[in-house]
Amino acid sequence: MARFTSKIAMLTLLGIFLAILPATWVLAGGHHDLISGTEDSWEVKGATILDVATAKALFDQGVPFVDVRGPNRWAESHIPNAVSLPFFREAGLSKIVSKDQDVVIYGLDSVHNRPYAVAEAVYWGYKKVYYFNDGFLGWEAAGYPVAKP
């Protein structure tokens, strides 16, 4: 019985470790120092913060938009032609844009957006990163087009 309990305890600890590991990688990744501000007004050194009107202007110019919300939210509705990249990785972003191309990264809204994906893109060497802090809800509230299934 003691051996069985010990194995359960080890598996539980392993599960907890694996659950927090991605957050640890983000904090230890070297790019967290690019982020400043507070929950409703994040800033990322090396990225340009967009308001809704400027995001729409870039949209009209054909600049790629990357949606970092979860796949279920993206499937419900998203900015037209946005690419869903919920598990933000350099290999995924490199399939969408080169390091010298403009790219807009957005999430849900200014409260739920986390600037980590934007900071990662800057850290990876992307030079024209735009952070749409108002996100999808700001876009939708402005009455701009929304893609729905």
Q: Report whether 101 contacts 127 (CB < 8 A).
A: no
**Residue 39 is part of which domain span?**
32-141
What tens digit of pLDDT does each residue of 15-28 get? 444 343 344 334 43
Of the two residues 12 and 59, the one the predictor is more confident about is 59
User: Looking only at Cα atoms, what is the longest distance across the chain?
Assistant: 66
Q: Report whether 68 contacts 117 (CB < 8 A).
A: yes
Same domain, 23 and 45: no
**Tokens 């729409």 identify what position?**
56
The CATH number of whichever domain residue 75 belongs to comes to 3.40.250.10
Domain count of the chain?
Answer: 2
Same domain, 26 and 38: no
pLDDT at 44 exceeding the cut of 50: yes
Same domain, 84 and 135: yes
pLDDT at 87 exceeding the cut of 80: yes
pLDDT value, residue 18: 38
As given in the structure block, the two tokens for residue 143 are 């009455």
In a domain, 46, yes or no: yes
Same domain, 83 and 123: yes
Position 13, amino acid: L
pTM of this structure: 0.76
As given in the structure block, the two tokens for residue 97 are 């844009």
pLDDT at 102 exceeding the cut of 70: yes
Same domain, 107 and 129: yes
